Structure 1
Amino acid sequence: MTAFVSLLSIAVAVLLAPLVAVFAAEIIAAVILSRRKHPVPAAPSGIQRPPLAVLIPAHNESSGIRPTIADIRAQLLPHDRLLVVADNCSDDTAAMARDAGAEVIERTDLVRRGKGYALDWGVRHLGSRPPAVVIIVDADCRVSEGAIEALASACGSSNRPVQALYLMSAPVNSSINHQVAEFSWRVKNWLRPLGLFVLDLPCQLMGSGMAFPWEVIRTAELASGQIVEDLTLGLDLTLAGHPPLFCPTARIGSTFPTSAKGAQSQRRRWEHGHLDTIMRAAPKLLARACVKRDLDLMAVALDLSVPPVSLLGMLVLAAFGLSLLASLIGGSSIGLWVSAGNLLVFVSAIGIAWLKCGMDLVPPASLLLIPFYVARKLKLYAQFAFGQVDSQWTRTDRAKDGLKIDEKQSVKGPMS
């Protein structure tokens, strides 16, 4: 029994070590190297950029789509297009979008449901008059000034898919404490992709604020009902030789749900989808990257393999406890040393991230909220383990006025 526990503790600690190392390396690179990295080159001044199309998939978004359209229209040139796909809507999303000045097409298919099908429908519609660049923005997002131009320029100059900085914040007067969730989002969608960017490595796609060269998006497999279609799309494009590029100068944002039920549902969809993709795709991608000696594919595969930060923290702590038990009952201390190193590196990385982009969200007095936030996720991970996975594209309840992105908003960090 002692030998079994000892071997198990060593195996778990060793398996977690590269995941913790990748997580920490991305954060450290973002903090230390980001000021030395120049932004993606823009198009030469005086040269008018090629036409672009902004594609907005929308499912029952009539209450919040107007501000999104207004943000985007203010940044378009006369030859650009703004297309809304009102997908399986039971409200007046289509009418509201038309009234706000967007081109609208409606899609009704109660069998093939999901954001991927809406995107496929929209891209095929754009094919009659294809733009040079297609930018995808969710209907509940706000788009900062200059974001469309930054995405189009980065996409055009690199001829690669480009991902904007996509942040989430708590709605005004929310009854839910989103402090830790917002900090976790910054780590995942800001620091980690920024770390990859400064290392000249590709990032994952995040679902909104994505730009694609027409020749890339028109051949992409979009039509699916997957709940993390963006994550899958980024992996597919990397395999096809089109690894996505992070563009931190283009900012978009949205708000967390206004109700506890909505927040729980959203979190379950995102994290179940991420974990399912890790289980299905990560081992194959890692093997393929090794065989092909493809650095971009290896970076994307390793980044994908890192589980959500709460789960990673749980696993690191559990591995330390298991190795401590093995050591106490007379087993090998190798697992204890490795797991202690994992725990030290993980805690240090979280501390560095907190110092750079979390102090305004989670002040020292609120750090005790983190264990409670993590504990609430135990049920979510148990549901995934027992196959209770949410796979429906549903509208998340948000503040009606959405989020106003202010270029001068106080978001401290390596980009400030």
Structure 2
Amino acid sequence: MTHLLFILLGLALMAVTLPLVLELLLVTSANLLPASRRRTADSGKLPDVAIIVPAHNEEQLVPLCVQSLRAAGGPALKIYVIAHNCSDGTAERARLAGADAVVYNDPNAVGKGFALRYGFQYALDRGADAVMVVDADSVVSLNTVTAVQNAFASGARVIQCRYEMFSTTDRSSTRLAALAFRGFNVVRPRGRDRLGLSAGILGNGFAIDREVLQRVPYDAFSLVEDLEYHLHLVMAGERVRYLDHAFISADFPESGTGESVQRSRWEGGRLHTARTLFLPMLNKLLRGRPRLIEPLCDLVGMPMAFGVFALLVTVCLPVSWIRWYAAASLAVVAAHVLTAAWAGPDFFKTLQLLALSPIYILRKLWMIPGVLRGSSGKAAWVRTERNNTL
């Protein structure tokens, strides 16, 4: 009887961890493939890409963001800072930095998704061929605007640039979070792109063609509006291309509280989106849309820290074939982490952090109540508390 209970527990743990393991195996191994050759851009005028900067009480950071965009795109670049329900000087600071500040106040429209929809329509009404989103707390590499324009001219319809968050402190928890973020925001989309799949939208540094926005309107208002809209795109047959050589970067909050709140909201929002879109996606998959397998696995896959904890429990069960599954799955996770470390700035220094990963996993488990609160789907835009402001 006891042995049967261990088998049933093992099967349950296998069921909840398998989507994550399959996703990591697929996208991590694909990073070994050569990068796809991009079609040369057609000669002629490059598309007019307008930059949308959604901002909620970001008066401290928005000037640096606008300055980096102006350096990348030149004086003719259209930069629209959407000052959404702000109670500070975001709009004025954006204007002084050289952007067009668009004040959008609507107490019934809470959440970044509303600011994006308003900004997209504002830019399209003024003749933009495409729009690109850059968060107010970010800076871009000098080649970003040109790289996005060339990608559109070469036939891309939706684009995601490389988006990384860096630790500005020596706090091991934040540096481990940066490593996990690189796995999610670099290793996964790069692998998908090399397999010919949709790379995904990461909420920052993505760009959309006018025609796509008109065909698939931006009606995503959850806590993870980027994930929600990407799933709408793939269900509509669109593919997001990944630009590994165009960088968008931001800093993690120095405040441990701010970091925890941010992660809880993200993961809670993913849980809510999984509950909402799982059945519609499964229905389309069963009706002959095999390309939805990967985004469906990604949608229902556990956060990696939770998945690792579940696999560690699984490997301790006294059932040999279940333990073999757990051991092989942990090897896949290890390969993914090593690939993420290799993609970062200091491989060997990053490896030293892994000794502290059990503490990181325990901290993530402590966040479960916050994740469950975030899964309610209420998308109020809560500015992340930061110490690292100008």
User: TM exceeds 0.5?
Assistant: yes
Pairing partner for 1:397 from 361, 381, 385: 385
| 1:381 correspondence with 2:368 | yes
Tell me how far 1:352 sits from its aligned partner: 4.4
Counterpart for residue 29 of structure 1 = 30
Residues 281 and 224 of structure 1: CA distance in aligned 2, closer, same or farther (over 3 Å): closer
Residues 353 and 137 of structure 1: CA distance in aligned 2, closer, same or farther (over 3 Å): closer
Could you say what secondary structure the match of 1:139 adopts? coil
Partners of 2:42 and 2:154 within 8 A in 1: no
Tell me how far 1:162 sits from its aligned partner: 0.6
Mean Cα deviation higher: 370-379 or 120-129: 120-129
Counterpart for residue 308 of structure 1 = 303
The number of residues matched between the two structures is 387
Counterpart for residue 270 of structure 1 = 266
Alignment of structure 1 residues 104-115 onto 2, 5 Å:
104-115=101-112
Pairing partner for 2:256 from 257, 260, 283: 260
Counterpart for residue 290 of structure 1 = 286
| 1:335 correspondence with 2:336 | no
Tell me how far 1:163 sits from its aligned partner: 0.5
| Structure 2 residues not aligned, in runs of 5+ | none
Tell me how far 1:299 sits from its aligned partner: 2.4
Counterpart for residue 239 of structure 2 = 243
Residues 38 and 345 of structure 1: CA distance in aligned 2, closer, same or farther (over 3 Å): closer
Tell me how far 1:159 sits from its aligned partner: 3.7
| Structure 1 residues not aligned, in runs of 5+ | 328-332, 402-416
Deviations 1:285-328 (A, max 9, x none): 24422322332x2222223333322122112222223x33xx3x
Residues 222 and 28 of structure 1: CA distance in aligned 2, closer, same or farther (over 3 Å): same
Deviations 1:30-76 (A, max 9, x none): 1x21xx2245335245x330212111111001101111111111233
Partners of 1:53 and 1:81 within 8 A in 2: yes
C-alpha distance in structure 1 between counterparts of 2:278 and 2:346, whole Å: 33
Mean Cα deviation higher: 247-256 or 4-13: 4-13
Partners of 1:165 and 1:248 within 8 A in 2: yes
TM-score by length of 2: 0.90
Could you say what secondary structure the match of 2:80 adopts? strand
C-alpha distance in structure 2 between counterparts of 1:143 and 1:355, whole Å: 22
Residues 239 and 270 of structure 1: CA distance in aligned 2, closer, same or farther (over 3 Å): same
Deviations 1:156-194 (A, max 9, x none): 3234211010000012x5667421111111111011111
Tell me how far 1:144 sits from its aligned partner: 0.5
**Counterpart of 1:210 in structure 2: which amino acid?**
F
C-alpha distance in structure 2 between counterparts of 1:86 and 1:387, whole Å: 24
Pairing partner for 1:88 from 85, 90, 94: 85
Tell me how far 1:205 sits from its aligned partner: 0.4
C-alpha distance in structure 1 between counterparts of 2:40 and 2:163, whole Å: 20
C-alpha distance in structure 2 between counterparts of 1:334 and 1:175, whole Å: 39
Residues 266 and 15 of structure 1: CA distance in aligned 2, closer, same or farther (over 3 Å): closer
Residues 62 and 101 of structure 1: CA distance in aligned 2, closer, same or farther (over 3 Å): same
C-alpha distance in structure 1 between counterparts of 2:375 and 2:194, whole Å: 38
Counterpart for residue 161 of structure 2 = 164
Tell me how far 1:79 sits from its aligned partner: 5.2
Counterpart for residue 117 of structure 2 = 120
| 1:103 correspondence with 2:100 | yes
**Counterpart of 1:354 in structure 2: which amino acid?**
A
Pairing partner for 2:135 from 138, 142, 148: 138
Deviations 1:225-246 (A, max 9, x none): 4110011011101111222111
C-alpha distance in structure 2 between counterparts of 1:268 and 1:151, whole Å: 31
Residues 40 and 105 of structure 1: CA distance in aligned 2, closer, same or farther (over 3 Å): same
TM-score by length of 1: 0.85
> What do you get for the CA RMSD once the two structures are aligned?
2.4
Could you say what secondary structure the match of 2:88 adopts? coil
C-alpha distance in structure 1 between counterparts of 2:297 and 2:193, whole Å: 15
Tell me how far 1:95 sits from its aligned partner: 0.6
Residues 99 and 349 of structure 1: CA distance in aligned 2, closer, same or farther (over 3 Å): closer
C-alpha distance in structure 1 between counterparts of 2:74 and 2:343, whole Å: 37
Residues 39 and 163 of structure 1: CA distance in aligned 2, closer, same or farther (over 3 Å): farther
Deviations 1:331-382 (A, max 9, x none): xx44333333323333343344435547547544432211111100112124
